Every structure is written in C-alpha cells, then in structure tokens.
Amino acid sequence: MFETKRILKVPKDKESRKILRAGVRMFASKNKILPPLEFKSLESQAKRLLANLGLGTEFLDFTIVLLGNEIWRGTVAATPFNRRLLLLPQCLRNNLNCKGVFDNLGLVCAGCKSCQIDRVLSFAEKLGYTTLVAEGTTVAIGLVEEGSIDAVIGVSCMPVLQQSFEPVARAAIPAIGLPLMNDGCENTNVDYGWLYEEMRQYHQNNELQPLSVSLLRNKVRHYFSETVLARFFPYKDETEKLALKMMAMDGQRMRPLLSVLAYQSYSKNFSEKIQSALAILIECFHKASLIHDDIEDEEDYRYGQPTLHKSSGIPLAINIGDYLIGKGYQCLSSLPVDPVELAECFRVVSSSHVNLSKGQGADILLNREIAEKTVDDVVQIFMQKTGEAVKVALLMGAILGGAPPSEIEHLKAFSDWFGVAYQVRDDLNEFREEDIRGDAFDFPFLLVLLNREFKREGHSIAEILQRGTIKLLREYLQEFNIEGKATKYLQEYVGKCYSELDKLQNLKLRLSLYNVMGKVFKL
C-alpha cells in the first residue's frame, strides 16, 4: 500500500527538475532497469538514486515518477505516434472561460483558446496521436486492451500518478507520466516545454516497439476463419469436414496466440506463412486433446454446444482427435524452416505430448486416489496437464523465432507455474459457483487442501466422499477456510510467473506475457 501521509511535491524551478531528470536518466542507463517495475521496486531504486546524488527524500515521489518514465522511455519512443495516446486532465482547462462540453469519455475541447489544452491537442493530433481529456487510467487501459493504442503519455496530479503505477505495471502499458505543478481540481498547470519534448520523441527500434496483444489476437482469430482453414482442410471427406468444424469452433485461442507472440517477439526474419501454420498446428494439438478429454471426463458440452462424442459418437470422436494430432505433425513437417530448428520443434512437441498424456492419466486416476495425494502431487499433475500445453505453444514460437537457450529455459519455468496457477484459478472459480448439483472433483486442488487438514486431525477426506453430499463437502471447505488457503497458493504461483517473466531479456515478449497475465489473473 502507498503511504498516504507523504507529501507529493514537484520541484517548482525548471532547473531542479532538469537536474533530477538527467540524474535519473544516467542511473537507469547504468543499471539497465527493464520494465515493468512495481511501485516498491521503483521506490527502492529512487532512494538509491537520491542517496547517490547526495539529496534528501523531499522529492522522492517525483523521482519515482521520473524513474518510471525512464524505464519506459525506449519503448514509448519506439512506438509510432499513431499508436500512442495523449491523456490530459480536465483540470488543465480554464474553469471560468472554457466552452468545451463533456461526453461519456471526457472533455470535448471547443478550441476557444482560453487555455493551453487546444494548442496541445492540435500539436498531438498533427503528429498522429489519439487524444483524450479525462481523469484516471481506466480509459487508457481499456484502449490498450482493445488494441487501439500501444503506449500512453499522460499528465496528472502526483497522487493519481502514484496510484496508477500498479495497474499500469500489471497491464504492462508503456507510459510516461508528467506531474501537474500543483494539485487541485481546477486551473492547474504543467511544464509544457517538458510535455512537448516527450511528445515529439520517436526513435525507430523494432526490438523495443511493443506488440499489440489485442491486434495479434484478432489476427489469430482470422487464421481460424473458413477461408484460411480451407487451405489446410480442403473438404476431401467426412473426417476432414468434422476436423475442420472442430478447428473453427470458438474458443480463447490462447495457445496459438502465445505461439504467435513468441514467434514475433524473437523473429528477425518474420514469415506470415510460418506464423499462420504455427497457429494452426498448435490448435490442432489443442483441439485433439479437448476431444479426448471430453470423452474421458464424460462431458456433454463444449463452447455451449454438444461435445463431438455426444453428437457423432465415441468411435468417430476418437478418430477425429487422432486425425488432428496427425494433422498437427503434418503441418509441422511442412514448415519451411532450418532443419535443426524443425528437429528441435519435433522434440518439444513429442515430449510435451508424452507429458500431457501422463498428466491426463494421473488426473483421471485422481478421483479414486485423492485421499492419498499431497498438494505437491496435484501441482505436478497441473504442470503436466496444463503447463505442458502452454509450454509447447511458447517454445515452438520461440524456437522458430530464434530465441537463445537462456530465454527458452525461463519460458519453460514460466509455463510450469502458469499451468499450476491456471488450474488453481479454475478450481476456485468452480467452487465459487456454489452449484450443489456439481461434482466434488470439479475442484481437486481444494479437496487435497481439505484432506491435509483432515489428516492433521486423524481423519481422511475419503470418509466424506463416500457418505457425504456436495453440500456437506462445501460446509467443510468453508469451515477450514480452504478457499482462502487456495487463494494464497494462487497468489504464490502467479508471483512465480511474474518472477520468470522479469528474467526475460526480450522486452516484446516480456510485456506481451505481462499483458496476458493481467487478463487471465485479475487478483
């Protein structure tokens, strides 16, 4: 939490601001600090910087803002003007003479020249910026998430800038913030010379220019349109028609998206042909696993529609799953890539196929072995069952993009932790639905936590599962605060994911995966 009693001051004289900005720039360059950085880390680094400069902490929070700006500077500067948002506060307007009107987004400037807003907006729009005169960061985050912009230059008071650090970092939004010279809700002021300086900075740098996760998600969806899929599934027989139907069936498309993100992040010689084939083959493997899982788990519906084995019968469903596995390997073998990279991709896919099958097998047996399983046992199943699916997607993209071995290792660890966090999150969501008609094994992680508590008292969860109802089980889960304990595990594994991302040197993928994490895990 932030210290609410701290005085959030901005140096009044321009020279002092310049000296601090120069000091921060040298400090960030020397220490090679990569974004995003949480507030506590920024604060610690800012204290070090002020100590190095022989200054007190009077302007600590201003220095934190400057340091946050500096670690994002290269990324923002590499973002084309037409992919940036200029966010101005409404309090910059002349409250007495302003002729602007407000809509649901913010102030619509009337161009009355009674304040500097019109001049700044005109300059920004000539460069190509998207502009907005509104309060807070919610709208900016929304525009990034929908794919309209990739970076933000914002003006706000010090308290709002301070409060924006955490959501901006979690959403991995490249941002530069300029503080108002004084707090208040009307007739405020900003260092306009500094603002224009930040706005006009642009340095083309493909390694630093951020990827738009939202735009790439739309691109991935396009790959599963009928037109594109027809190139891979040319409707030759009924088997292929059913396979095509499964591939076109809706879903999150998260795994092909992860592959595309990794491939684009590392690739020096990008190929649209390779990227589209990569997305398709990853989804082939994924849809095959879903078809087989639905049979094994006796599921009736998938994506709101009857599962394939329900609509077409188990034998045909098994065959379509097998066909999609073969189709995935066929697409992989046809990629026009270096033979060494192709061999490594085959090794990764086959290894993950084996591990995922082992994880699914252990998951099937979990129903009758839950009383003997530990938390570590279930975590291992989650790594194999879900972590491997994430791992094969990320590693395939990274390998074909030419990622170095050190990055591959961090992506492996990230995938393991992501798989665990994802499954724990799903178990918590199942439990929170409070469906008394549900199945106890809808949330196995919570069961194994409850069993641990029972064992401490000399009992076993097997007693409850044999004679009890789902309602009784839920009462025990609440009595032992299992939801709270599982939430702590979720936070722990999400933290491990971020820890691995912070070790990635590829800024494009680092920020993209931060963005994905922010959407999947809203803690």
Give the integer Cα–Cα distance in Å for 327 and 346.
13
Give the integer Cα–Cα distance in Å for 415 and 164.
28
Q: Residue 29: pLDDT band by 50, 70, 90 thresholds? A: confident
Give the integer Cα–Cα distance in Å for 288 and 323.
8
Residues with Cβ < 8 Å from 93, sequence gap 6 or more?
100, 107, 114, 115, 117, 133, 186, 187
Q: Mean pLDDT over residues 238-249, rounded?
A: 92
pLDDT for 3 equals: 46
Burial of 85 (0-12, 13-18, 19+ CB in 10 A): buried
pLDDT for 109 equals: 72
pLDDT for 1 equals: 38
Q: Specify the DSSP class assigned to residue 83.
A: G
- 81-91 pLDDT, tens per residue? 999 999 988 88
**Domains in the chain, please, with CATH?**
14-200 (no CATH), 211-336 (1.10.600.10), 364-378+401-523 (no CATH)
How much of the chain, in percent, has pLDDT values that exceed 70? Answer: 93
Residues with Cβ < 8 Å from 334, sequence gap 6 or more?
277
Higher pLDDT pick, 5 / 219: 219
Least confident of 181-195, 215-229, 339-353, 493-507: 181-195
Q: Mean pLDDT over residues 184-210, rounded?
A: 87
Higher pLDDT pick, 459 / 341: 341
How much of the chain, in percent, has pLDDT values that exceed 90? Answer: 57
pLDDT for 161 equals: 80
pLDDT score of 459 more than 90: no
- 148-166 pLDDT, tens per residue? 889 999 988 887 787 787 7
pLDDT score of 5 more than 60: no
Q: Which of the residue ranges 112-116, 235-239, 252-256 has the most confident prediction, judged by mean pLDDT?
A: 252-256
- 354-399 pLDDT, tens per residue? 999 999 999 999 888 888 899 999 999 999 999 999 999 999 999 9
pLDDT for 176 equals: 93
- 114-160 pLDDT, tens per residue? 678 888 999 999 999 999 888 767 777 777 777 788 999 998 888 77
Residues 417 and 455 sit within 8 Å (Cβ to Cβ) = no
Q: Specify the DSSP class assigned to residue 372.
A: G
Least confident of 86-90, 120-124, 179-183, 209-213: 179-183
Q: Residue 4: pLDDT band by 50, 70, 90 thresholds? A: very low
Least confident of 115-119, 123-127, 169-173, 433-437: 433-437
Q: Mean pLDDT over residues 490-498, rounded?
A: 96
Higher pLDDT pick, 186 / 41: 41
pLDDT for 433 equals: 83
Query: Considering Cα of 39, then 45, then 49, then 50, what sign does the dihedral take?
Result: positive
* 175-179/151-156 β-pairing: parallel
- Residue 84 pairs with which residues in a beta bridge? 151
Higher pLDDT pick, 433 / 346: 346
pLDDT for 276 equals: 96
Q: Which of the residue ranges 11-15, 232-236, 353-357, 430-434 has the most confident prediction, judged by mean pLDDT?
A: 353-357
pLDDT score of 255 more than 90: yes
pLDDT score of 95 more than 80: no
Residues with Cβ < 8 Å from 133, sequence gap 6 or more?
88, 89, 90, 92, 93, 100, 106, 107, 108, 109, 117, 121
Give the integer Cα–Cα distance in Å for 332 and 348.
12
pLDDT for 458 equals: 81
Higher pLDDT pick, 278 / 186: 278
Q: Answer whether the bond into residue 35 is a cis peptide, omega within 30°.
A: no
Residue of 381, 353, 215, 356 lying closest to 281 (CA atoms): 353
Q: Residue 292: pLDDT band by 50, 70, 90 thresholds? A: very high
Give the integer Cα–Cα distance in Å for 426 and 335.
35
Higher pLDDT pick, 96 / 28: 28
Phi, psi of 179 (to 5 degrees): -80, 145
Give the integer Cα–Cα distance in Å for 332 and 352.
15
Give the residue carrying structure tokens 């803690």: 523
Give the integer Cα–Cα distance in Å for 398 and 505.
13
Higher pLDDT pick, 202 / 34: 202
* CA 474 to each of CA 416, 439, 479, 480: distance values in angstroms, whole numbers, following the listed order: 29, 11, 9, 10
pLDDT score of 110 more than 70: no
Average pLDDT, the chain: 88
Residue of 286, 451, 301 lying closest to 366 (CA atoms): 451
If you write DSSP's letter for every residue of 192-218 in order, what string do you get?
Answer: HHHHHHHHH-----TTTSPP-HHHHHH
